[in-house]
Chain A
Amino acid sequence: MDVLVCLKRVPLAGSTFLLTPDSRDINTEFLGFGISPHEENAVEAGVQLVEQMGGTLTLLTLGPTEAEEQLRSQLAIGATRGILLETDGEDWDPQATAAALVDAINAEETKFDLILFGAESADSAGYQIHIRVAHALSRPIVTNVKTMKIENGIAQCERAVGSVRELYETTLPAVITVRDGLNIPRYPSVPGRIQARKKPIDHKKPESHVPKLEKVSLSVAPSNSTGAQILGNGVDAVPALVDVLRTIGVLA
């Protein structure tokens, strides 16, 4: 079983955001970097599948040179090798990103049985790269998967969106996007980290494209609230809360 997991290097942002002076990006001067949360589940799923069934786990990312850090840290979990599609650090729009990923996948000798993505990226949230990749490779796709069972070339996936859970089945090769709750991502072991330093990473320079979805600038979303009014401490504050519920019409 040959598995490919697509990753994205993203800043580990807290709850407040500082922007660069030109307002085009987040100011990452004081931030660390990681991968999008659901992608950790995708890597874990890939490692488990290769442990059970043999084969290889390849990691693919498009990003700046520094994205090698994210590939190394996930290689330490148990992936076989990495492919880094190096950019100049600018955002690539979804169509350009998907096209670069597809070119890289098609250039591989390995025909991946399963291509995994996280359900959404933490930063740009475009909700489309996985779909564009699936179409370009003429593969079926199941998204937002929370449980996954793979047997005899068939994937059974439970999709959880809102209040509905649906069980889907598809044949491999396929593209599947997974979300948190699928598994518990492991921490890298010390031997894992040491081995990861020697694992191969291919560096490629994809052809850049003119963006069709073109970012102009970012702004911090206004908060609806200016901070909570403290009604008091403990049960003594309950009468004040009952008054609030009357004022907003929840209580008559």
Chain B
Amino acid sequence: MILVLIDHDRGELDALSLRALTAARKLSDEVHAVVIGSAGAGLSTIVGEYGASVLHVAHHDGLTDYTPAASGRALVQLVSTLKPEAVLAAGTPRGNEQLAHLATILDLPMAAECSEITLGNPHTVVRARWAANLMEQALVHSELLIATVLAFAVEAEPSPVSSVVQDFDAVLEPIDLLVRILGRGGEAAKSGASLADAKVIVSGGRGVGGPEAFSLLEELASLLDGAVGCSRVVTSSGWRPHAEQVGQTGTKVAPDLYIAAGISGAMQHIAGCKNSKTIVVINTDPEAPILAYADYAIIGDLHKVLPALTEAIKATKG
């Protein structure tokens, strides 16, 4: 049996967790899911649709927000009773962190961001290094495999089963809740659609030149029901909020269309957008590194090309 940690934020599912469920189903016919905190109980239907026959729900008054150390402790408890062959999670900062606590408490290895997993003795994995520019073939010497699934390496495939909920009370140590949350929110994305779910992302980099010209990107994004993204230099310069940053250190995205305007393509940015189905580059520099990863490019000034594109799309929509 494979146990998959389903990550959620106050009951809101992290969609990458469904991909981890599919990765688990490729390893075993029996897949269980676990959510940390009572707010996750509402996810039983969706995890059933993606093949988890049981959703374990860890309950504790302290498990209302993200408390990775407590997640690790609750997972240890569940693993000791269920004895799964592997514990998987999505290869996100939160997935990696919660399973690292599990692995640490059990003093077992953890393989982060795996694109391939084969159970055995030892287990073999292929995992991402260098912002997924290099892949590492590795052996995991441990009976229980603890691994996270590289974002977008596996497509989520529905595989409906009837799912039952099994509640358990998490028994935590005082140190697990020593880090207290004081507040959250503050700086949300400016555009309507969230980056993680958007089918179209219009993203801007240093070449946009300043915060004002982002209105060109906003207009095009809203016309295509998409979201605005940006590179690290843009958030570092304070032009756009952190929530819009695409990259290894921001959000990893995989939309149908990614328009990169004025983005040269640093390695850490490419790591966040290279899984997009189609990448279109608008850049004055025909030698920009991002062209090597893109499907189409217009060599030109985004300040002229974007308004012309917006007008042309408006014309097609009548």
A residues sitting closer than 8 Å to B (CB atoms) are 13-15, 17, 26, 38, 93-95, 119, 122-128, 131-132, 135, 138, 140-144, 146, 156, 160-171, 179-181, 210-221, 223-225, 227-235, 237-239, 241-242, 244-246, 248-252
Residues of A within 8 A of B148 (CB): 127
Query: Which of chain A's residues has its CB closest to B95's CB?
Result: A127
Chain A: minimal CB distance from B316 (Å): 6
Q: Is the CB of B251 within 8 A of A180?
A: no
Residues of B within 8 A of A38 (CB): 249
Given contacts A218-B135, A228-B281, A231-B297, contact A122 B130 (CB under 8 A): yes
> B289 at the A/B interface (Cβ < 8 Å)?
yes
20 CB < 8 A contacts A-B:
A15-B292, A126-B112, A132-B104, A143-B97, A161-B94, A163-B196, A165-B242, A166-B181, A168-B180, A212-B142, A213-B110, A213-B140, A214-B140, A218-B134, A223-B292, A225-B295, A234-B304, A241-B280, A248-B256, A250-B200
Binds A, one of B20-28, B33-41, B306-314: B306-314
Kindly identify, within residues 131 to 147 of chain B, every residue whose CB is under 8 Å from any CB belonging to chain A.
Answer: 131-142
Q: Is the CB of A166 within 8 A of B65?
A: yes
Residues of B within 8 A of A126 (CB): 110, 112
Q: Is the CB of A216 within 8 A of B96?
A: no
Query: Once A and B bind, how many residue pairs between them come within 8 Å at the CB atom?
Result: 256
> B129 at the A/B interface (Cβ < 8 Å)?
yes
Complex CA distance for A221 and B136, rounded to whole angstroms: 9
B residues sitting closer than 8 Å to A (CB atoms) are 9, 65-66, 68-69, 92-94, 96-97, 100-101, 103-105, 107-113, 122, 128-142, 148, 175, 178-189, 194-196, 199-200, 224, 232, 235-236, 242-243, 249-251, 256-257, 265, 267, 270, 274-275, 277-281, 286, 289, 291-301, 304-305, 308-309, 312-313, 316
Q: Is the CB of A220 within 8 A of B133?
A: yes
